[in-house]
């Protein structure tokens, strides 16, 4: 699972495919909510705010 900014979306998808050998689901963080999980304050790869959840 990756929580990433716009700039790192492609990198997260590539890493996901390399690791799991299948395409991920990509969700806008603004469109989803979880009761037991809160998105981290920054991208997995940099300090920018996250925009996407890649699972």
Average pLDDT along the chain: 96
- The residues spanned by each domain of the chain are 2-54
Q: What percentage of the chain reaches a pLDDT higher than 90?
A: 91
Per-residue model confidence as pLDDT tens digits over 10-29 = 999 999 999 999 999 999 99
Neighbours of 41 (CB within 10 A): 9
Paired sense of beta strands 52-54 and 26-28, if any: antiparallel
What confidence score (pLDDT) does residue 34 get?
87
Beta strands in 1-55, from DSSP E residues, in sequence order: 2-4, 26-28, 52-54
User: What length does the chain have?
Assistant: 55
What confidence score (pLDDT) does residue 33 get?
86
Question: With 90 as the cut, is the pLDDT of residue 40 above it?
Answer: yes
Question: With 90 as the cut, is the pLDDT of residue 42 above it?
Answer: yes
């Amino acid at each position: 699972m990756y929580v990433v900014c716009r700039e790192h979306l492609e990198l997260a998808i590539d890493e996901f495919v390399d690791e799991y050998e299948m395409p991920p689901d990509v969700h806008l963080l603004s469109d989803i909510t979880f009761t037991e999980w809160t998105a981290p304050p920054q991208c997995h790869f940099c300090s920018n705010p996250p925009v996407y959840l890649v699972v």
